[in-house]
Structure 1
């Protein structure tokens, strides 16, 4: 008998963006909530700039941090992993290659937060290698380029769409449109290959720092949601 993988609901609960300052960037990444059979799961936790927004987003959905059973970290840069301390009861999943890389990053990669290894060692940590299933319907695979250990997730949504949660393997629309890696601490060639793979397998892509990308009738990817940025001065 052929096993049919479950379809998994998902939503972006913290909206990232690719806005930058003259000499810096805001570092706001997408945080995605999944509802696989094992229970609520987050993909990335965002940076400190999203800390309050993440808690409010979970509360609005009837969830407390203790309800999050699993946190999958696409990679370990600060803007994707700063808020891991909010989930002391969760199991954290990281690729072993990213774990090793974070201890000895590229000389130009200054985005690894200090104390990260100690915090994760004190948690329920699972290191994964290669590609496979985290559970039925939830496939993980290497997507190097931005960092050597970047991993992405693939799932089938309730409407049947093939979805890839790409993390920074595809950070924003430009990388998907040009099929070219921008800001690669591994190699640009590895990043290009990861982008091509994701583009070939997805109907929808959740990038690291941009609204969801949707495959158009001509096969190209674009976005339908506004990239809103609600800035208030007090």
Structure 2
């Protein structure tokens, strides 16, 4: 039987602004042949509400619509990854049980999990999945907590090796190189262990806010898709427009208070 394939619907970007968080996460399509001869379609994360038009166009370019998706895997419940859930009217939605428990009472330092998150997800039949759960032949769930309490990833056995769709367990290539998560809303030690776990597992990493890449044995990054990002209605010489070319990550660590979910 053919192995699953993995496709980019929407690229993720590590783009920041002095006036707010742009927060464009990756949205990934996995197509897995099943033994009966059919095709099981899985989408990992949804993007936020402002990407809905572009998401529908990306699906249409592949000859499908959101209604053709069988499973929607939410790597975690942060706003930029879950707001587009409303487009997937036929999909079974899956997430980790700790994440689903947490959204009832996010800690005050977690600005990525608004109070309305539970109200949004409660409108859908969201099912719990944990480590090793098979979503389709060759596609399984990997637990990667730390960025949030119940962050998960999708592990896909493809002809190109093991592809891991990480969500924000690995936001970008620099996180993978340093084995340090630069954006933590739950537990930094757990988050860093999860980075190492996923890097060691993968041949190809599809991160939450960057293009897909491989890491060489020496830790060098090989990007597998080209960066493409355009701004409209602003000119390079617009007064007040500035570009900060500093590539280093600025860590943001907002750990949950001890015992928050005990």
Partner of 1:195: 195
* Cα gap change, 1:118 to 1:16, in 2 (>3 Å): same
1:28 aligns with: 24
Match of 1:82 in 2: 83
Give SS of 1:58's match.
helix
2:10 paired residue among 10, 14, 17: 14
Q: Following the alignment from structure 1 to structure 2, what is the Cα–Cα distance between the partners of residues 178 and 43?
A: 24
The answer (yes or no) to whether the contact 2:13–2:24 under 8 Å persists in 1 is yes
Deviations 1:98-139 (A, max 9, x none): 111112122211222454333433323211234332232111
- Is the Cα contact below 8 Å between 2:40 and 2:136 reproduced in 1? no
Deviations 1:192-229 (A, max 9, x none): 10011111111100000000121325354442433221
Equivalent position of 2:238 in the other structure: none
Q: What does 1:20-169 align with in structure 2 at a 5 Å threshold?
A: 20-37=16-33, 39-157=40-158, 159-169=159-169
Q: Deviations over 1:37-85 (max 9, x none)?
A: 3522210000123111100000111111211111000001111010101
**In structure 2, the residue corresponding to 1:39 is in which secondary structure?**
strand
Following the alignment from structure 1 to structure 2, what is the Cα–Cα distance between the partners of residues 59 and 8? 20
Deviation at 1:141, TM superposition (A): 1.5
Q: How many Å separate the matches in 2 of 1:169 and 1:218?
A: 21
> Which deviates more, 223-232 or 54-63?
223-232
Q: For residues 88 and 13 of structure 1, what CA distance do their matches in structure 2 show?
A: 18
TM-score w.r.t. structure 2 length? 0.81
Q: 1:89 to 1:224 in 2, by over 3 A?
A: closer
How far apart are the structure 2 equivalents of 1:164 and 1:200? 10
d(CA) in 2 for partners of 1:15 and 1:176?
Answer: 17
Q: 1:179-218 to 2 correspondence within 5 Å?
A: 179-216=179-216, 218=218
Unaligned runs of 5+ in 2: 34-38, 235-262
Larger radius of gyration: 2
The Cα shift of 1:231 comes to 1.5
Computed over aligned residues only, the root mean square deviation of the Cα atoms, in angstroms, reads: 1.9
Q: In structure 1, what is the equivalent of residue 245 of structure 2?
A: none
* Higher mean C-alpha deviation, range 127-136 or range 96-105: 127-136
Give per-residue Cα distances to partners, 1:13-40, cap 9 Å, x unaligned. Answer: 1011010012532010000011123522
Contact 2:145/2:169, CA 8 A, preserved across alignment = yes
**Ranges in structure 1 where 5+ consecutive residues have no aligned partner:** none
SS of equivalent to 2:82: helix
* CA pair 36-224 structure 1, distance change in 2 beyond 3 A: closer
Is the contact between residue 28 and residue 49 of structure 1 (CA under 8 Å) also seen in structure 2?
no
Task: Give the Cα separation in 2 of the matches to 1:97 and 1:222.
Answer: 34
